[in-house]
Chains A and B, each alone.
Chain A
Amino acid sequence: MDDLLEEFIAETRETLEVLTSQLVEWERNPQDRALLDSVFRFVHTVKGSCGFLDLPRLMRLSHAAEDVLSAAREGRVNASPGLVTAVLAVIDRISALTNALETEHAVFDDDIDLIDEMLSFVSATSSDETVEITTDDLFIEKNSEVGPRAKSRHVRVSLALLDKLMSGVSDMVLARNEVSRQLRSTGSHSDIEHSFLRLSASVAEIRDSVSMMRMQNIDRLFSSLPRLLRDITVELNKEIELRIDGSEVEVDREMVEALRDPLTHILRNAADHGIETVEERRAAGKDPVGQIRINARQSGNQILIEIIDDGRGINLEKLGARAIAGKLVSAAEWPKMSEKAQLRTIFAPGLSTADHVSAISGRGVGMDVVKTNLQAVGGTIDLENYEGHGLKMTLRLPLTLSIIAGLSVRAGDQIFGISRNSVVEIVSSSNANVKIEDLGGSKIASIRGQRYPYATLESVLEIEQFEQNAGISRTLIVLRPAVGASFVLDVASVIDNEELVVKPGAPLIMSTGLYAGTSLPDNGRPMLLLDASGLASAIGVDLREQHSSGDSAVEPVNQRKNPSALLFIASDGVKRAVRLSVIDRMEDVDVAKIKFVGGKMRAANSDTLTDICELSSIPAEGSVKLLRLSDGEQCKYLAVEDVLDIFSIDSAIVPSATPHLHEGVIDALGEMVELVNIFQYFEAADAPSSGHGDKALCFVESDDSGHWERRILGPLLTASGYQVSFDPADRGTASIVLSRDDITDDSDIQDGRVLQLRRGMHPANGNFASVYRYDRVGLLSAIESKLSGSC
């Protein structure tokens, strides 16, 4: 019985979630049969289950709702907004009672009022109740068949079980790593190694699918919004249209929960403060119906959610007055702040621009909570204000909560993790471009002339510096927290770059404000994950400073005219530089993934092969440092010995004697180095694939056997970037027709597309238009000229 009840609660809740958006839709289109049907189906199901489970209150409510809805289905009642409101009230009560079944808090029993209200719509119009019951039933049956519930191949699994599976898989990964370590130390047999690799691969696969299991459609988050907005608009007497795009985006299920409150807040704010009343909108010459758009999309490893309204936007003057009144900024400072910084004060606690406190929003708690909630899941929020025309908020969220790309760093004798998302750059403290300056006791780091607040991680955490490390150069990490100014964190060293499984920390740990959670890396020792925003506030990068230095820290970087370059030691041991703009990132690639195949060094990366330039031999073991270069379309790896620094190309570029190899010679931090010409790597790129945008179709005419054509000619053409067909049906559409001169008809010669191939080196029969079939260069250039001639 308990199981059945739980099942009932879960199912009812799930259906309700889907239903809420449909209800609002239905109110707008009362004539929409499909919507009416699905609402009807819901109450019908509830009624059925209630009778079975003996839940009299739910039974009465659903029964009454069913009556009304079936009347609406038959057209006996008009589905007016009033009726919808009454039905919504009943459905709300059903939902409240369902929740109460679980929480065991009683719900006040005025069900009969709700039912009466709803039934009044029916009795008012149902003058003729002479409909035959038999046909009525038939009608319903038939209709349920017309709109069948999509059969879903899903199983409901408890979250606890899912979490258990997840932790089981993490255990497995740890065990695998342990075995791998032991295999390495004992110098194992190749058979064992082979089996172990297979095991590894399948473990990785399971881990991936378990993470996928945690993914949920973001629609779960959005489905409640239309209903929410409807209730707000009714209360505020505004007309607002909500459009939601991108419901198919998948996010981690914990993210869905974490986003629910912030998104609700933002939507409320937009409807209450953003969208004007109908009169105001008319006066401003706008469409009286306000628009709120919510777009969700995935971009790289981020989820972007945009909330755009066409309301009045934020009045900066008013905001300033409030901020000054709330003592968040001084009256003198406000005008000096950039617009962006001014806008950001809305995230300060205790600030509201609403003139009146309404039941919905305007109590000054809201945006700061939104920001905090977003930060808790590693997200950020951006604002674009168009005063008088609307406001656009962009929420950026990491794809998953559970696994982040992390950097492990050492401070004292302890290792900490930090999310790579907040890391802007990493430099060595011994770098000539780095200076630590003292400013009245507090320290400021200056990197390439750019100044940042600075602190060592040891001093922030109040732990001792490990003595063994004294005197060795340390590492500076430039961090940009979710909101606010960049700052420099000085750590003993950066250890590794790894995928970290994030586990929430206990409240006692989270209350320090310094940590984002905990993690268990491969070595099996727990690790604390640092929270960039928490560190920032611990260092004293306060709100005010955020406004003034937040932008100045970013803008000069963008304003710098001179391009930057990366100084590295090339694989031949010579220092060279490469333009930073072409570098995607640096990767350490395991030698096992590198092979000399097809005349080039290549690195296997999941299922693609990428060429490696400047790598003459593969080291026996370990990994190779590779710079990933990109021209926007293609990628190449450039093998390097080591990466030294980033500098800006301030001096003139002195021409090189070998311009195809080196763009020129430049001054890199006081040394003359060659600036690598990237063109050479991409120039040597697969010429065929860049030959024609659309692959030209070559029809090859062959006799019955056609061995030569199929075995020799076909592959040559394919490798040169042509599409090849041996099917006579394609002849008509082909751009080129290749045929042997001994099987060509005379009529073909008239066809401009025909290229004849001959067996002999020298043309027989005086047919000079033909090409010797083993003259590869001649053949390809003949095709090329035919193609360009025909264009």
Chain B
Amino acid sequence: MTELDCYQQSSQNFQGLANMSTLFLIADINGARVAIDSEYIESLVRVTDVIPVPKCHPSVAGLFALRSRVLTLIDSQYLITGKRETVTKGTLAVVAEIAGHHFGLLVNSVEDVVSILEKQIERNIDPPPSWAPFVTATASVNGEMVMILDPSQLVNGEELLAA
């Protein structure tokens, strides 16, 4: 056996472990309960000052500063409803690092951090069509349904522009 085989094995083991106890943040976007993998999430902030980005895709609500970094604020609601959210002072955003860039994902509120196990995934339930592009799976958490978001789809400029 080559050493490469060894690595593949060990990494599979690791993934198996990770699957068993992945934490998700449960948040509310446009009245829907969603779960975001905590692996992406850095912090939660209240955004105070948003600088608009002219001529950009409407899902970009603007730029904001967090410590010395400039973050791109994503209007999650626009992606679902096609209506832009009015960003008021103190709007809640989930700070996430996606594909090497830092983003703020606008959410209406956050509820809890929970672990979602493989067996909680509901394979038969499809998310509604407006959500489908951004959801990897639905799961049942504490007796209620949540949609597990794929954050990289939320910030995927090229595909959004093509759509």
Contacts and interface: CB of A to CB of B under 8 A. Distances in A.
B90 to A, nearest CB: 17
B155 A508 contact: yes
Contact of B4 (A104, A168, A505, A509): A104
Nearest to B65: A526
Contacts of A704: none
A109, A414, A462, A505 pick with most chain B CB within 10 angstroms: A505
Interface in B7-56: 7-8, 11, 49, 51-56
A506 to B, nearest CB: 4
Interface stretch (B67-75, B80-88, B111-119, B126-134): B67-75
A231 interface: no
B68 A527 contact: no
Interface string A46-75: 000000001111100000000000000000
A525 B99 CA distance: 24
Contacts of A463: 52, 54
A760 interface: no
25 contacts: A55-B3, A56-B3, A57-B3, A97-B4, A101-B4, A106-B5, A167-B67, A170-B68, A171-B67, A414-B54, A461-B54, A463-B52, A506-B101, A507-B101, A507-B156, A508-B57, A508-B155, A511-B161, A512-B57, A518-B63, A520-B69, A520-B70, A525-B49, A526-B51, A528-B63
A572 to B, nearest CB: 44
A503 interface: yes
A519 interface: yes
The 8 closest A-B pairs by CB, nearest first: A461-B54, A508-B157, A170-B68, A526-B63, A506-B72, A171-B68, A518-B70, A526-B70
Nearest to B69: A167
A504 interface: yes
Given A174-B68, A414-B52, A527-B51, A511 B158 contact: yes
A99 to B, nearest CB: 11
Contacts of A509: 53, 56, 60, 72
A508 B72 contact: yes
A527 B52 CA distance: 10
Contacts of A514: 54-55
Interface string A97-119: 10011001011010000000000
Contact of A167 (B51, B68, B158): B68
B8 A528 contact: no
A81 interface: no
A601 B161 CA distance: 60
Contacts of B103: 506
A12 to B, nearest CB: 14
B142 interface: no
A524 interface: yes
Contacts of A525: 49, 51, 65
Given A503-B69, A525-B49, A526-B70, 20 more contacts: A55-B3, A56-B3, A104-B7, A106-B5, A167-B69, A168-B68, A171-B68, A503-B70, A505-B72, A506-B60, A507-B99, A508-B56, A508-B57, A509-B56, A509-B60, A511-B161, A519-B70, A520-B70, A526-B51, A526-B65
Interface string A396-416: 000000000000000000100
> Quick one: which of A57, A518, A524 has the most chain B CB within 10 A?
A518
B124 interface: no
Nearest to A411: B54
Contacts of B155: 506-508
A281 to B, nearest CB: 46
B53 A528 contact: yes
B138 interface: no
Given A525-B49, A528-B51, A511 B57 contact: yes
Interface string A453-468: 0000000111100000
Main secondary structure of the interface of A (DSSP, over half): mixed
Nearest to B101: A506
A101 B7 CA distance: 8
B70 A106 contact: no
Contacts of A524: 65
B76 interface: no
Nearest to B6: A54
A461 B11 CA distance: 48
Interface in A671-701: none
Nearest to A518: B70
Contacts of B156: 507
Given A519-B70, A527-B51, A528-B63, A109 B101 contact: no
A62 B144 CA distance: 58
Contacts of A512: 53, 55-57
Interface string B123-163: 00000000000000000000000000000000111101100
Interface centre among B54, B55, B156 (most CB of A within 10 A): B54
Interface in A433-483: 460-463
Nearest to A106: B4
A107 B52 CA distance: 48
A491 to B, nearest CB: 13
A109 B55 CA distance: 51
A574 B79 CA distance: 61
Contacts of B59: 508
Interface in B82-100: 99
Contacts of A505: 72
A429 to B, nearest CB: 21
B47 to A, nearest CB: 11
A109 B5 CA distance: 12
Contacts of A461: 54-55
Nearest to B4: A106
A461 B53 CA distance: 9
A57 B1 CA distance: 10
A101 B70 contact: no
B4 A507 contact: no
A511 B157 contact: yes
A460 B54 CA distance: 9
Nearest to A510: B157
A179 to B, nearest CB: 15
Nearest to B3: A55
Nearest to A55: B3
A167 to B, nearest CB: 5
Contact of A104 (B11, B55, B60, B70): B11
B67 A414 contact: no
Nearest to A517: B70
Nearest to B99: A507
B101 A107 contact: no
Nearest to A527: B51
Nearest to A412: B54
Nearest to B11: A104
Interface string A159-171: 0000000011011
Contacts of A511: 57, 157-158, 161
A716 to B, nearest CB: 54
A508 B8 CA distance: 34
B63 A462 contact: no
